[in-house]
A and B are shown apart, each in its own frame.
Chain A
Amino acid sequence: MVSPPALEARDLQKAFGRTQALRGVSLRLLAGQAHGLVGENGAGKSTVLKILTGIYRADAGEILLGGQPFTPRGPQSARQAGIALVPQELQVVRGMSVADNLLLGCWPARAGTVQPRALHAQATQALARLGLEIDPRRRMASLSFAEAQAVVLARELGAGDARILILDEPTASLERAEVDRLFALLERMRGQGVAVLFVSHRLDEVRALCDVVTVLRDGQVVASHSRGAYGDADLARDMTGREMGALHAAASRPPGAQTLAMPAPGGAVCAHAGRVTGLAGLLGAGTGPLLRRGFSPPAGSIAAGIGYVPSERGRALVPTLSVRDNIVLPHLDSMTGALGRFDARAADAAVAELIRRLDVRPPDPGLPARALSGGNQQKIIFARWLMGKFHTLLLDEPTHGIDVAAKRAVLTLVDEYAEKGGAVVFASAELHELLALADDIVAMREGAIQASISRGPDFTEARLRQALGG
């Protein structure tokens, strides 16, 4: 007698208005197994998660929990049934203690008064169950992201009755060592018979962690692979529906004139015309602040021909403004006519060309920027600096959190920009991107420059990892 899957979804369908988000998705999560769920933005991953955790209701299809039909009536009912979710954006009360957050809303109380001793005891127990060494009296705000995530994990697992653990992009904000710790934690959960559903953009992690991976595309399951039977290229092909050639492996371009030097302890990071300078560093290594300092003050840098793409799109985009206005925002001075009139015709003409060239979708310059997907928003921010006379681009994690096809588009853009004589400084935590694209790579750790590696026999991931100390 084979025991039924811990959770089985059969033929889930869901439509939003006229958009069919899910067209019959089936999924089997087995106890003690880690299951990966991958797909491009908009493939339906988050819709599946929201149905499994009771935030949405499926239009059709059924969910079986331990073989029994199950219809979650809301997040609370899913949690009570043993389905735990660790969302990408952690829901914590930063001003309260770790213990308060662990038992959020179910604090042990007598006659309406919280019992501090019982609270402390239960919190300590919850942390110990996961082998976490965090003082439950600490304020949540003082925790690192990884620690806060572990606390949320402990909270969602409850008193140990969760049988299914769902993690949405859990490693997006983690450093490598923290990822290893999280994976050790997940191994431990698997050992206790918990079924883990792991949603991620990072294919190497999916490959390392998951026994089975399911690929979604356009609201359908297009492939399912067992551990060891697939590679990154297979997943990328399944996700996008097309073969991806290798990136243009840049033959080292000759160094042009230096356009910008950003000093840092241990030397300086320099931008050269016609070259891509990679900036490697783990989270907190100081690559982001270095680029931000290189673009300071913004108005002066823009006037000097330097463009900047911050790591978080939300910091560069005005969600309420139209696509067109977002693109021309740094160029308003040159689009101003008599009496300060905004020259809408000139803006339309310039933007139409860029939207076509970057394949922004939908190609409607009048749409508010917030209506676009993450990858297309990133293209808009890029488009800004492809207008007018910009000779240097500072890019901070420009491929972070966008899907495979958009990533490819961004990398191609950077490559073309350098081919045409532009200078690029490109910071990324994904070393293979840097190795594919950069002419030389500067490795940073703790705010200081550790090494500078040019194309040659030393230009390898192993050498970079060594310099990064990871």
Chain B
Amino acid sequence: MTRRILEQTPFLVLAALCLGTALLTDRFLSPVNIGNVMLQASVMAVVAMGMTYVIISGGFDISVGSTVAAAGCAAASVMLEWGTGAGAVAGVAVGVLVGALNGVLITKLDLNPFIATLGTMVVVRGVTLLLTGGRPIMGEEGLPDAFILYGRDRFLGVPWLTWTPILLFIVLWWVLHMSSYGKRLFATGGNREAAYLAGINTDRVRASAYVWCGAMAGVAGVMLAARLQSGQPTSGEFYELMAIAAAVVGGASLYGGEGRLEKTIAGVLIIVVLGNALNLMNVDSYWQRIAIGTVIVAAAAADRWRMGRGN
């Protein structure tokens, strides 16, 4: 029974946080603020969903922040020449490429995921700054109208930027929790040797997780470019840390083999709502960092405590 309740912790924490904030300040539930929270959570949610795949596979990817920036700049540049669709595809393609590179480094060269993605994080950022000269990409007359609308407009009252993670969530959730591929991913992360002995191509499974993660970082990069109406070579910093934090707050195990996509989303919302609440209550932004850091440590400690209770 306690176990059942413990498993729902991320949702309970999120509900308590929302309730508490709503009671403390009436601005929290205003349509403008809710829209803000959704927009802030949207980009982060996409990155965090990809990260959840990698963490479940038993890995780690700290290159996603750089990938977001690279994908955004690639999308913006291509878009100015060949239009919105081509730009979006280019952005996602950059993400897939970086993910594939990470996957090869980690499985074929057998590098530690932390070190391998630390390397790609720095290299990708460097290449992005080099090719853009460190300047934002927005063209003479700005990015195409369709793209600007995607970053600004709503559909059924919900921003297009929020529809994106909702649709992706449905696909990614199904793949992770309903497909045979998902089983292979959980098995590989839970015990790589056992998965290998059961005939699973664990290298391919692990590499594919980085490709998913890179692709999601690519999508997030395109979304961020739409929101900022430009490709920003310095954007996306700390996204990797926030995405990992969201997955851990949502209960994914850094040892691999455990995690649920809906809980990662809860983790994203906990972090975003916490920041938003402190903002609304005019708490210094320095304090916000301290608060978020504390939540991350508390989530990790709760995870250890839960593991220690048997099983």
Interface residues of A (CB under 8 A from B): 295, 298-299, 301-303, 308, 310, 314-321, 325, 328-330, 332-333, 335-336, 339-342, 368, 370-371, 384
Contact = CB atoms under 8 A, between A and B. Distances in A.
* 10 closest residue pairs by CB, A with B: A320-B257, A318-B190, A329-B198, A320-B190, A299-B199, A302-B199, A336-B180, A330-B198, A318-B191, A340-B179
A308 B291 CA distance: 50
B180 A333 contact: yes
A308 B184 CA distance: 19
Contacts of B194: 314-318, 329
13 contacts: A298-B199, A315-B191, A318-B190, A319-B191, A320-B190, A320-B253, A321-B183, A325-B183, A325-B186, A325-B187, A329-B187, A333-B180, A336-B180
Nearest to A334: B180
Interface of B: 175, 178-184, 186-187, 189-191, 193-201, 253, 257-258, 311
Which of B196, B199, B253 is the most central at the interface, judged by chain A CB atoms within 10 Å of its CB?
A: B199
Contacts of A332: 180, 183-184, 200
Contact of B187 (A298, A321, A335): A321
Contacts of A301: 199
Contacts of A303: 199
Contacts of A370: 311
B204 to A, nearest CB: 11
Contacts of A371: 311
A320 B191 CA distance: 8
A295 B183 CA distance: 22
A70 to B, nearest CB: 28
A439 to B, nearest CB: 27
Contacts of A368: 311
Nearest to A303: B199
A315 B195 CA distance: 9
Which of B183, B198, B200 has the most CB atoms of chain A within a 10 A radius of its CB? Answer: B198
Nearest to B257: A320
Given A298-B198, A317-B191, A321-B183, 12 more contacts: A310-B197, A315-B194, A318-B195, A320-B258, A321-B190, A329-B194, A329-B200, A330-B198, A332-B183, A342-B180, A342-B182, A371-B311
Contact of B186 (A317, A320, A330, A335): A320
Q: Which of A310, A321, A328 has the most CB of B within 10 A?
A: A321
Nearest to A384: B198
A316 B197 contact: yes
A315 B193 contact: yes
Query: Which one of B194, B200, B253 has the highest number of Cβ atoms from chain A below 10 Å of its Cβ?
Result: B194
Contact of B197 (A298, A325, A339): A298
Contacts of A316: 194, 197-198
Nearest to B175: A340
Contacts of B197: 295, 298, 308, 310, 315-316
B180 A335 contact: yes
A390 B200 CA distance: 17
Contact of A329 (B175, B181, B195): B195
Contacts of B183: 321, 325, 328-329, 332, 342
Nearest to A339: B179
Instruction: Give the interface centre of A301, A302, A340, A370 by most chain B CB atoms within 10 Å.
Output: A340
B13 to A, nearest CB: 23
Contacts of A302: 198-199
Q: Which of B175, B190, B196 has the most CB of A within 10 A?
A: B190
A317 B179 CA distance: 20
A384 B183 CA distance: 15
Contacts of B193: 315
A174 to B, nearest CB: 25
Given A321-B257, A370-B311, A340 B180 contact: yes
Contacts of A298: 196-199
B247 to A, nearest CB: 15
B257 A342 contact: no
Contacts of B180: 332-333, 335-336, 340-342
A310 B197 CA distance: 9
Contacts of A320: 186, 189-191, 253, 257-258
Nearest to A343: B180
Contacts of A333: 180
- Of A295, A308, A317, A328, the most chain B CB neighbours within 10 A belong to A317
B218 to A, nearest CB: 22
A318 B178 contact: no
A242 to B, nearest CB: 29
A320 B56 CA distance: 11
Given A342-B183, A370-B311, A319 B190 contact: yes
A299 B311 contact: no
Nearest to B187: A318
A371 B3 CA distance: 13
Contacts of B189: 320
A341 B190 contact: no
Nearest to A16: B310
A153 to B, nearest CB: 29
B149 to A, nearest CB: 32
A342 B311 CA distance: 26
A76 to B, nearest CB: 21
A325 B181 CA distance: 12
A298 B202 CA distance: 11
A320 to B, nearest CB: 4
A423 to B, nearest CB: 19
A325 B184 CA distance: 10
Contacts of B195: 318, 329
A341 B191 CA distance: 22
B192 to A, nearest CB: 9
A317 B196 CA distance: 11
Contacts of B175: 340
A330 B178 CA distance: 17
A228 to B, nearest CB: 41
A310 B193 CA distance: 11
A275 B253 CA distance: 44
Contacts of A342: 178-180, 182-183
A251 B201 CA distance: 41
A321 to B, nearest CB: 6
B191 A299 contact: no
